[in-house]
Chain A
């Protein structure tokens, strides 16, 4: 079965290419649905497929911009991208990333950097998961209260409303982001993106996992707009990261292109599936993705702490990540298939009505 393997020209790794296509497909679908680059899924996936770690991270960053571009174009057609907000946030993201990267170099001098980074990542993921599930619980409580009093809850109602407090800070200039429906001081998205960019720089991640909830809970974007706008930012930061890692000689273009074949189909499916899922549906499954990612980090920390169980715990961490990716991909695919079926049925019904 030699034809199923391809020798990478730069890293010299012999890689099972259908694995790359499947990995790209899953990541493209999840990224297009949740507004993430998917660094936390791809790096271990590439490593399992036989990539040396030095190339896995760079190739992961390189492949990120491709499916994000495909998803952004599709979300743009649905009106899910606030380009103005995205461009304003790029300023903060780049500044934050640079500051975070410098801080990590300082931390390297202290030593034990892996443990600090992983622990920080775990705290952050726990906070995000808590935020998402608290928000969902509060919103359900509001729904129950509205039902009991015989009225219908506003479709735009949210559980956690931190953004309303932040919108009261009116440091000039105050701007209106029309698509997102947000009116706030321009310094709010800049400060939020600086903070999320700094976190991404310190933790060595793309940032989608942090920026998506930040757009929802701190800036007040509707879920679908948060997904689209975050993807637009990932395109820009992904290209910046690709240039940086390629210049350091740590990317494998051939692998990124092979992944892109699967990712471009996955990104279309993931983006279209958001049409058929309510905003809170996206938030619930985003919460599950964060929990899956958190569990894998706990296993990684345990593997570093208990050298005798390192191999078993590392394998468990990879299984958890790939299991989460598979479960989420199946959920999105099911939503896509049922949504397309229903939309087609509705359209044919409408056509028949016109005939009568």
Chain B
């Protein structure tokens, strides 16, 4: 009786295997993990954030990049303003 039950369970497992495989979501074959042990402070926090949640990692990245670009753009624009050239108009108008 016990052998029969084991055999039944074996067949069930074999028959369910393709179903499990088909139901599995496609995943990336390469999983990258940041080694946060090498870092301290904000770098360790950033590496841990990468390992914990790619969503928050993406959100913070797309906030930091344009904000930094705006700040640096204004700073470099201010520096260019000291060159003594007109930074507000372009007289050329041709193809």
Interface residues of A (CB under 8 A from B): 7, 9-12, 54, 62-63, 65-67, 69-70, 73-74, 77-80, 155-158, 222-224, 239, 242-243, 246-249, 251, 253-254, 256-257, 260-261, 264-265, 267-268, 272, 274-275, 278-280, 340, 343-344, 347
Known: A9-B47, A74-B77. 20 other contacts (CB 8 A): A9-B39, A10-B47, A12-B38, A73-B73, A74-B87, A78-B90, A79-B89, A155-B93, A222-B93, A224-B92, A246-B62, A247-B55, A248-B28, A248-B54, A253-B65, A254-B43, A260-B72, A267-B76, A279-B92, A344-B84
A12, A242, A246: most-surrounded residue (chain B CB, <10 A): A246
Distance, CA A272 to CA B92, complexed state (A): 12
Interface set, chain B 51-95, CB cutoff 8 A to A = 54-55, 57-58, 60-62, 64-66, 68-70, 72-73, 75-77, 79-80, 83-95
Distance, CA A67 to CA B46, complexed state (A): 23
Is the pair A278, B85 in contact by a Cβ cutoff of 8 Å?
Answer: no
Within the complex, the shortest CB–CB distance from B82 to chain A, in Å, comes to 11
Closest residue to B87 on the A side, CB-wise? A77
Q: In this assembly, does B25 line the interface, its C-beta being within 8 Å of a C-beta of chain A? A: no
Q: Provide the residues of chain A in CB contact with B86, threshold 8 Å.
A: 343
Select A79's contact among B30, B57, B68, B90, beta carbons within 8 Å.
Answer: B90
Contact residues of B: prevailing secondary structure: helix
Distance, CA A63 to CA B39, complexed state (A): 23
Is the pair B68, A66 in contact by a Cβ cutoff of 8 Å?
Answer: yes
Is the pair A249, B50 in contact by a Cβ cutoff of 8 Å?
Answer: yes
Q: Provide the residues of chain A in CB contact with B91, threshold 8 Å.
A: 275
Distance, CA A278 to CA B90, complexed state (A): 11
Is the pair B69, A70 in contact by a Cβ cutoff of 8 Å?
Answer: yes
Interface residues of B (CB under 8 A from A): 28, 30, 32, 34-36, 38-39, 43-44, 46-47, 50, 54-55, 57-58, 60-62, 64-66, 68-70, 72-73, 75-77, 79-80, 83-95
Is the pair A275, B61 in contact by a Cβ cutoff of 8 Å?
Answer: no
Is the pair A280, B47 in contact by a Cβ cutoff of 8 Å?
Answer: no
Is the pair B62, A243 in contact by a Cβ cutoff of 8 Å?
Answer: yes
Within the complex, the shortest CB–CB distance from A303 to chain B, in Å, comes to 23
Is the pair B34, A66 in contact by a Cβ cutoff of 8 Å?
Answer: no
Question: Known interface pairs A243-B58, A249-B54, A343-B86. Does A268 touch B65 (Cβ–Cβ under 8 Å)?
Answer: no
Is the pair A251, B76 in contact by a Cβ cutoff of 8 Å?
Answer: no
Closest residue to B83 on the A side, CB-wise? A340
**18 sampled A-B residue pairs with Cβ under 8 A:** A9-B34, A12-B35, A65-B69, A66-B66, A222-B95, A239-B62, A242-B58, A242-B65, A246-B61, A248-B54, A253-B61, A265-B76, A267-B73, A268-B79, A268-B80, A340-B83, A340-B84, A347-B85
A65, A78, A156: most-surrounded residue (chain B CB, <10 A): A78
Q: Provide the residues of chain B in CB contact with A12, threshold 8 Å.
A: 34-35, 38
Q: Provide the residues of chain A in CB contact with B47, threshold 8 Å.
A: 9-10
Select A7's contact among B28, B38, B94, beta carbons within 8 Å.
Answer: B38
Distance, CA A63 to CA B61, complexed state (A): 11
Q: Which 8 A-B pairs have the closest CB atoms?
A: A246-B58, A66-B69, A155-B94, A264-B72, A70-B73, A78-B90, A247-B58, A246-B61
Q: Provide the residues of chain A in CB contact with B72, threshold 8 Å.
A: 66, 70, 260-261, 264
Question: Known interface pairs A272-B80, A343-B86, A347-B84. Does A223 touch B95 (Cβ–Cβ under 8 Å)?
Answer: yes
Within the complex, the shortest CB–CB distance from A335 to chain B, in Å, comes to 13
Is the pair A7, B39 in contact by a Cβ cutoff of 8 Å?
Answer: yes
Distance, CA A180 to CA B55, complexed state (A): 39
Is the pair B94, A222 in contact by a Cβ cutoff of 8 Å?
Answer: yes
Closest residue to B55 on the A side, CB-wise? A247
Closest residue to B64 on the A side, CB-wise? A253
Is the pair B87, A257 in contact by a Cβ cutoff of 8 Å?
Answer: no
Select B95's contact among A70, A156, A265, A274, beta carbons within 8 Å.
Answer: A156
Select B66's contact among A69, A246, A279, beta carbons within 8 Å.
Answer: A69
